[in-house]
Structure 1
Amino acid sequence: MIEIFESIRDFTETGGQVLLVIGLLIFVMWLLILERVMYIQITHKQLKKSVVAQWMSRKERTSWNAEQIRQAYISRLSMKLNGSIPIIQALVALCPLLGLMGTVTGMIEVFDVMAITGGGDARSMASGVSKATIPTMAGMVGALSGVFASAWLMRTSKAERTHLEEALPLVRNIG
């Protein structure tokens, strides 16, 4: 177990300070994603059953007022369903930008070494190159995983809204 922590520490030292920020960002992003998944799987299903039961217990479901109440139910549940999805999407967009910042800071270190040594010492430039490439890779990995997860959350949210609209039928007066 200690070896795992040492290898993680070595990896973060190789990637520089920006890698720690990227790691924290990815951790928060995945916490929010897991929270949304748990909400959809547990809480939303219970709220949906409750709203459907309230709607079905209404005697009057034909008027304009009933339609507005139905729309309010749908809107409230949709807002709760979408919850932190915009924040997740913003964190996904921020991952590659932080990776680019890591690239820039790593290249600055390479240029500092080149200015001091005259550019002939490849070993001293290697740490700057790793500080330039590792955060870029980490930012892209975080962004890709977040893109897939946020796309799934958006698709699921839209599908749940459609299911809710179908579960709350509006009885129209014919004639």
Structure 2
Amino acid sequence: MTDGFGLWLRLLDGGHALFDLMAAGGVVMWGLAGLCVLFWTLVFERFWFMRRVFPRWVRERRRAWQQLLAEEAGSWQRAVRSAWLAQARQQLAGPLRLGKTLVALYPLLGLLGTVSGMVAVFDVLAINGTGNPRAMAAGVWQATLPTLAGMVLAISGLFSLARLERDARRALERLADQLRHD
């Protein structure tokens, strides 16, 4: 076996293990996976926006601000500054509301998985009685797995949102400092 082929086999094994885990958790796990993809797409978009797009926007506003300051002073300059800061706040923090909503949905979907798993356990109990612990264990596994996944996703989501909010707050503070009327 060549090294590259061995890597593909390990990746294939990992993929099978992931699909087995998703199947064991029931249909709710696929919902959690979909929300996870949506959330991390949003997070990466926000990091890209703050590193690439927003700095260009700030440079344009700084140039325009210098031109405004070169003109005659007036109260309208303060209004322009306030409008630009409000616009920057909306650009930086607005999309994070969706991220907060998704993070709040993770544990709720996990609890939905718990309920559906417990229904499966009660189904086994109703059909087989308490004499089949293996069938009951599968239902308990299906009940606990989505809850665990929902909590792990929520915790990682909270950390990433906290970082994005901190970066947005700092970027807004830097912009406010750069648009001062000295």
The 5 Å alignment of 1:138-157 reads: 138-157=149-168
Query: Is the aligned partner of 1:80 residue 2:91?
Result: yes
**Structure 1 residue 4: Cα displacement:** 2.3
**Amino acid paired to 1:88:** G
Query: Is the aligned partner of 1:46 residue 2:46?
Result: no
**Amino acid paired to 1:35:** E
Query: Is the aligned partner of 1:136 residue 2:117?
Result: no
Residues in 2 aligned to 1:60 and 1:123: alpha-carbon distance in whole angstroms: 80
**Amino acid paired to 1:140:** M
Q: Which blocks of at least 5 consecutive residues in structure 1 are unaligned? A: none
Identity %: 35
Residues in 2 aligned to 1:119 and 1:104: alpha-carbon distance in whole angstroms: 19
Residues in 2 aligned to 1:23 and 1:60: alpha-carbon distance in whole angstroms: 55
RMSD: 1.2
Q: Deviations over 1:98-131 (max 9, x none)?
A: 0000000000100110111111210011111111
Q: In the superposition, relative to structure 1, how do residues 128 and 46 fare at CA in structure 2: closer, same or farther (>3 Å)?
A: same
Aligned residues: 171
- After alignment, is 62-71 or 104-113 more displaced? 62-71
Residues in 2 aligned to 1:31 and 1:91: alpha-carbon distance in whole angstroms: 12
TM-score (ref. length: structure 1): 0.93
**Amino acid paired to 1:86:** R
Among residues 78, 82, 88, which one is paired with 1:67 in the alignment? 78
Q: Which blocks of at least 5 consecutive residues in structure 2 are unaligned? A: 1-10
- After alignment, is 158-167 or 54-63 more displaced? 54-63
Q: Deviations over 1:51-103 (max 9, x none)?
A: 11110122237321110011111111221112310000000000000000000
Q: In the superposition, relative to structure 1, how do residues 116 and 86 fare at CA in structure 2: closer, same or farther (>3 Å)?
A: same
